[in-house]
Amino acid sequence: MQSETKSRVDQLTTPAGHSATILRFEGDIASTSKDAVLGAYQALPKATTKLILLDFTKVDYINSSGIALVIQLMIEASNSDQKVYAFGLSAHFTKVFTMVGITKYAQLFADQDAALGAL
Amino acid sequence: MSDAKAAAAKAKTTTVELRLPSRMGYEKVAMSTAASVAKLMGFREDRIEDLKTAIAEACINAIEHGNRLNEKLSVGVVLSAGENALEVKVMDDGVGMKKQPAKPDIDRKMHGEEGPRGMGMFLIQALVDEAEWVAGTDGHSYVRLVIRLDKEAA
C-alpha cells in the first residue's frame, strides 16, 4: 500500500566550489523507508562526504516514522561532522519540518538551485 | 448553542464511515477520503494538507499501538461533515493511553536523550483545532479530531 521509497545519490559541486552529495528520494517516506533513507546515507563515504542535501522534490507523503528516519540521519551526520540541508519539500511539509524542529539543525531550501547557491 | 440550533446543525451533518485493515499504508485511504470530504466542504488546500497528516497519524497510532498490527482487527474512521467543521473519529481495539507523551524535543533527540520517534500525537495536536484521546471502558478507544472551516480566510 505504501509506495516503495527509491533513493539515488548524485555528486555535484556548488557554485562556491564545494563538493555536495545529494540524496534524492522518490515515493513515500515512512517506516518502510529505512533502507532508502538511512541505508543510502550510511553507504556514503564518511571521510569525503561533508555536505549532504536531501532532495524531497519527488516525495508526496512523509509521516512521523519517516520524519524519525530523517532525524536519525541528521543525528548520524552530526556525529560525523557532516552538514545536512534539504530542498524540494511542499509548503505543508516545510511547515511540518519546522514544527518538529528539524530546521534548527538542517536548513531548508525551495529547490536545488537555491540550496547549491547558498552553500 | 440552543437546542433548536443544535438539532439543525445535527440534521445538516453528513457522515462517511470507513473500516481499514490494521496494516501500515492503509492510513492513506483515510487521508484521501478525508481530503475529498474536506474539499467538498470548501476547506482551503493548506488545511486539507493539515487534515491529511493529522488523520494519517491518528490511523497509524490506531494500527500500530491500538490494534498492535493485528490484521484481524480493523480501524474505524468516521468523518462527520457539519456546516462549519469536520469531525473525525479514529477507533481501535486498544486500551488507549494512560497519559499523554511529552512534547518531542529536537535538541534532546539530536543529543540522543530521547528517541527519534514519538511525533505523531504532537503533529495531530498542532495541525487540527481540537484533538482528544478517549480510552473506552469496553476495550475500544478513539481519537476525536475537529478541524474548522475558516470561511474568512477561504
Residue-wise pLDDT for B1-32, tens only, equals 567 666 666 668 999 999 999 999 999 999 99
Query: Mean pLDDT, to the nearest integer, of B116-133?
Result: 93
Chain B residues with CB inside 8 Å of A31's CB? Answer: 24
Q: What's the pLDDT band for B117 if we cut at 50, 70, 90?
A: confident
Minimum CA–CA partner of B110 in chain A: A75
Higher pLDDT among residues B150 and A10, named by residue: A10
Structural domain total, chain A: 1
* Contact state of B110 with A105 under an 8 Å Cβ cutoff: yes
pLDDT digits (tens, 9 = 90+) for B59-102: 999 999 999 999 999 999 999 999 999 999 999 998 887 777 78
DSSP β-ladder status, A6-13 and A19-29: antiparallel
Q: Would residue B80 count as lying in a domain?
A: yes
Query: Mean pLDDT, to the nearest integer, of B51-59?
Result: 98
* Contact state of A100 with B57 under an 8 Å Cβ cutoff: no
Contact between residue B76 and residue B17 where contact means Cβ atoms under 8 Å apart: yes
ipTM for the whole predicted complex goes beyond 0.90: yes
Q: Would residue A94 count as lying in a domain?
A: yes
Minimum CA–CA partner of A102 in chain B: B106
Q: Would residue A49 count as lying in a domain?
A: yes
CATH number at residue A43: 3.30.750.24
Query: Mean pLDDT, to the nearest integer, of A33-57?
Result: 96
Q: Would residue A47 count as lying in a domain?
A: yes
Q: Would residue B153 count as lying in a domain?
A: no
Could you list the residue range(s) of the whole structural domain that residue B58 is in? 3-148
Q: Would residue A24 count as lying in a domain?
A: yes
Q: Would residue A95 count as lying in a domain?
A: yes
* Contact state of A64 with B106 under an 8 Å Cβ cutoff: no
Q: Would residue A1 count as lying in a domain?
A: no
Q: How far is A101 from chain B (nearest CA, A)?
A: 6
The verdict on A38 touching B (C-beta cutoff 8 Å) is no
Q: Nearest-5° angle of CA B129, CA B83, CA B38? A: 60
Could you list the residue range(s) of the whole structural domain that residue A53 is in? 6-118
Chain B residues with CB inside 8 Å of A101's CB? Answer: 104-107
pLDDT given at position B130: 97
pLDDT given at position B10: 62
Q: How far is A87 from chain B (nearest CA, A)?
A: 19
The verdict on A80 touching B (C-beta cutoff 8 Å) is no
Q: What's the pLDDT band for B154 if we cut at 50, 70, 90?
A: very low
pLDDT given at position B52: 98
Residues 6+ positions from B68 with CB-CB distance below 8 Å: B22, B94
pLDDT given at position B5: 64
The answer to whether residue B45 scores a pLDDT higher than 80 is: yes
Count of CB contacts below 8 A, A vs B? 74
Q: How far apart are CA B31 and CA A39, in angstroms?
A: 28
Q: Would residue B154 count as lying in a domain?
A: no
The answer to whether residue B46 scores a pLDDT higher than 90 is: yes
* Contact state of B60 with A99 under an 8 Å Cβ cutoff: no
Query: Mean pLDDT, to the nearest integer, of B92-120?
Result: 86
Mean pLDDT, chain B, integer: 90
Q: Shortest CB distance from A75 goes to which of B24, B116, B123?
A: B116
CATH number at residue B140: 3.30.565.10
Chain B residues with CB inside 8 Å of A99's CB? Answer: 122-123, 126
Q: Which three cell numbers stand for residue B57?
A: 497519524
Provide the total of helices (H) and of strands (E) in chain A, helices listed first.
5, 5
The verdict on B101 touching A (C-beta cutoff 8 Å) is no
